[in-house]
Structure 1
Amino acid sequence: MKPDFVDFHAHLDLYPNLADAIRICESSKTAKLAVTTTPRAFARNKELAKGSSFVRVALGLHPQLVAERASELALFADLLPQTRYVGEVGLDASPRHYRSFDNQKEVFGTILDLCAEAGDKVLSLHSVRCAKHVLDMVEAGLPTGRGAVVLHWFTGSASEARRAVDMGCYFSINERMFASAKVGAVLKVIPPDRLLTETDGPFVERNGVPLQPCREQQR
Structure 2
Amino acid sequence: MVLIDTHVHIDFYSDPLSIALEYERLGIYTMFVTNLPEIFNKHLSSFSNFKFVRLCLGYHPQVSSEYKLNKKLFMKSIVSTQYIGEVGLDFQNVDKIIIKRQIEALKFITSEQFNKGRIYTVHSRGTEDEVLNILIENNVKHAIFHWYSGKVTTLEKIAEKGYYFSLNPRMLYTKNGQKIIQRIPKKSILFETDGPFARINRKIITPDTLPDIYCEFEKIIPNFEDTVFTNFRRLLFEKDYLS
Deviations 1:99-138 (A, max 9, x none): 521211011111111xx22311100000011101111111
Q: How many residues align?
A: 211
How is 1:197-208 mapped onto 2 (pairs within 5 angstroms)? 197-208=191-202
C-alpha separation between the residues in 2 aligned to 1:47 and 1:162?
39
Report the secondary structure of 2:121's partner residue. Answer: strand
Deviations 1:69-101 (A, max 9, x none): 21423211221111000000000022x345521
Gaps of 5+ in 1: none
Instruction: Please report how far the alpha carbon of residue 175 of structure 1 lies from its aligned counterpart in structure 2 after TM superposition.
Output: 0.9
C-alpha separation between the residues in 1 aligned to 2:69 and 2:161?
31
Q: Does the 8 Å contact 2:145/2:164 carry over to 1?
A: yes
TM-align CA RMSD: 1.9
C-alpha separation between the residues in 2 aligned to 1:140 and 1:174?
27
Q: Report the AA paired with residue 72 of structure 2.
A: A
* Structure with the bigger percentage of strand: 1
C-alpha separation between the residues in 2 aligned to 1:197 and 1:26?
17
Return structure 1 stretches of 4+ with deviation > 3 angstroms. 216-219
Report the secondary structure of 1:147's partner residue. Answer: coil
Q: Does the 8 Å contact 1:201/1:213 carry over to 2?
A: no
Q: Does the 8 Å contact 2:167/2:181 carry over to 1?
A: no
C-alpha separation between the residues in 2 aligned to 1:62 and 1:22?
21
Query: Please, what TM-score do these two structures have when normalized by structure 1?
Result: 0.89
Q: Does the 8 Å contact 1:212/1:218 carry over to 2?
A: no
Is the alpha carbon distance of 1:71 and 1:117 closer, same or farther for their aligned partners in structure 2, counting shifts above 3 Å? closer
- Where does residue 168 of structure 1 map in the other structure? 162
C-alpha separation between the residues in 2 aligned to 1:51 and 1:71?
27
C-alpha separation between the residues in 1 aligned to 2:210 and 2:189?
22
Q: Report the AA paired with residue 55 of structure 2.
A: V
Q: Does the 8 Å contact 1:211/1:218 carry over to 2?
A: no
Q: Does the 8 Å contact 2:88/2:123 carry over to 1?
A: yes
- Where does residue 103 of structure 1 map in the other structure? 101
C-alpha separation between the residues in 2 aligned to 1:121 and 1:198?
18
- Where does residue 132 of structure 1 map in the other structure? 129
Q: Does the 8 Å contact 1:92/1:98 carry over to 2?
A: no
Is the alpha carbon distance of 1:209 and 1:171 closer, same or farther for their aligned partners in structure 2, counting shifts above 3 Å? same
Q: Report the AA paired with residue 179 of structure 1.
A: Y
C-alpha separation between the residues in 2 aligned to 1:171 and 1:217?
19
Is the alpha carbon distance of 1:217 and 1:154 closer, same or farther for their aligned partners in structure 2, counting shifts above 3 Å? closer
- Where does residue 75 of structure 1 map in the other structure? 73
Q: Report the AA paired with residue 124 of structure 2.
A: S
> Alignment identity in percent?
27
Query: Please, what TM-score do these two structures have when normalized by structure 2?
Result: 0.81
How is 1:83-102 mapped onto 2 (pairs within 5 angstroms)? 83-94=81-92, 96-97=93-94, 99=96, 100-102=98-100
